[in-house]
Amino acid sequence: MTAARASAAAPRRKPRQSRARHTSQALQEAFVRLLVEKGYAAITIREIAAVAGTGLGSFYEYFENKEDLARVCLHLRSKALLLDMRAAVAAHAGRPLREIVDAVIDAQLEVHRAQPLAWGAHYLLERHLSSPEAYRKMYDRFVGEWVGVLEAANELAADGQKKDVKEVARVCQTIIYGLVAHTHIGTGGRPDLQALSRQLRGALHGYLASTAGVA
C-alpha cells in the first residue's frame, strides 16, 4: 500500500490534544457563525475554514464534509443543554419539585440567552439533519434527566404510589423542548425569554399538579 493510500484509509483524527481541540472548536464556531449569517445551504467548506483561520486540509482532518460538522455541532450543543440540566438538578436535589423544575427552566434558558440567534438556527437545522435514530437517542437522554428531576424531589421520594415516572418525564421534555424550540424558530432566534419562562412554568407546573403522585 502506498503512503497516499494509507493516509486516505486512516480514520479521521480525534481532537485530543490542546491544539487539535482548538482547531476543531474554531471550525465549529465558524460554522455556527456562518449558519446564522447565511443559512446552511449557502455555506461552503472553504468559507468555514477561512473564518476559522485554518486550511482546507485541517478541516478534513476532523470532519468528512459539511454535514458531518453540522451533526457534530448539533450533538454538542444539545449535550451542553443536557449537562446544564443535570447540574441544576444536582444542585437542588431534595428540594420541592416546583423549585427543581424552576431551576431546570432557568438553566435551560440561560444557555439560550447567550446565543439566541444560534439556537434558532440550531433548532431549524436539527429538523433537516438529525436522523430519526439520533433524534430519539438524544430525546431519550433528556427524558432520563427528567426522571432524575422527578426522583430528586423530596415529596416524590416519600410517595410510594407515584405514577409512571418515565411517562411523566417524557411529557415534561415534550413541553419544554416544544416551547423552547418553536419559540426560537418562530421568532427567528429573537425570543422574549421572560415570556417564555412564564409559559414554561405555567405549562410544566400545571401538568405536574394534575398528575397524581408527582406533585
Mean pLDDT is lowest, of 40-49, 127-136, 167-176, for 127-136
Q: Is the dihedral of CA 155, 158, 164, 167 positive or negative?
A: positive
**Predicted TM-score (pTM) of this structure:** 0.82
Number of other CB atoms surrounding residue 6 within 10 Å:
9
Same domain, 24 and 77: no
Residue 1 resides in a domain? no
Same domain, 22 and 93: no
Mean pLDDT is lowest, of 55-69, 91-105, 108-122, 126-140, for 126-140
Q: How far apart are CA 162 and CA 212, in angstroms?
A: 7
Quote the domain boundaries for residue 30: 11-64
Side chain identity at 21, as an amino acid letter?
R
Judge whether 60 and 81 are in contact, CB under 8 Å.
no
Same domain, 95 and 60: no
Same domain, 78 and 174: yes
- In tens, the pLDDT along 6-26 reads 444 445 655 556 777 889 999
pLDDT, residue 208, reads 93
Same domain, 116 and 196: yes
Residue ranges with strand state E in 40-171? none
- What's the domain count of the chain? 2
Same domain, 180 and 203: yes
Judge whether 199 and 176 are in contact, CB under 8 Å.
no
Task: Specify the CATH number for the domain of residue 95.
Answer: 1.10.357
pLDDT, residue 90, reads 94
Residue 29 resides in a domain? yes
Q: pLDDT averaged over the chain?
A: 88
pLDDT, residue 5, reads 40
Residue 181 resides in a domain? yes
179-200 mean pLDDT: 96
Q: In sequence order, which residues have a C-beta less than 8 Å from that of residue 131 and are 6 or more positions away?
A: none
pLDDT, residue 68, reads 96
Q: Is the pLDDT of residue 163 over 90?
A: no
Residue 214 resides in a domain? no
Same domain, 58 and 104: no
Q: How far apart are CA 165 and CA 169, in angstroms?
A: 6
Judge whether 97 and 156 are in contact, CB under 8 Å.
yes
Same domain, 28 and 113: no
Q: Residue 97: pLDDT band by 50, 70, 90 thresholds?
A: very high
Cα radius of gyration rounded to whole Å, the chain? 20
Q: How far apart are CA 84 and CA 59, in angstroms?
A: 29
Same domain, 173 and 80: yes
Q: How many CA atoms lie within 13 A of 89 on its CB side?
A: 17
Q: Residue 1: pLDDT band by 50, 70, 90 thresholds?
A: very low
Which of 45, 64, 83 is where one domain is finished? 64
Number of other CB atoms surrounding residue 42 within 10 Å:
10
Task: Specify the CATH number for the domain of residue 22.
Answer: 1.10.10.60
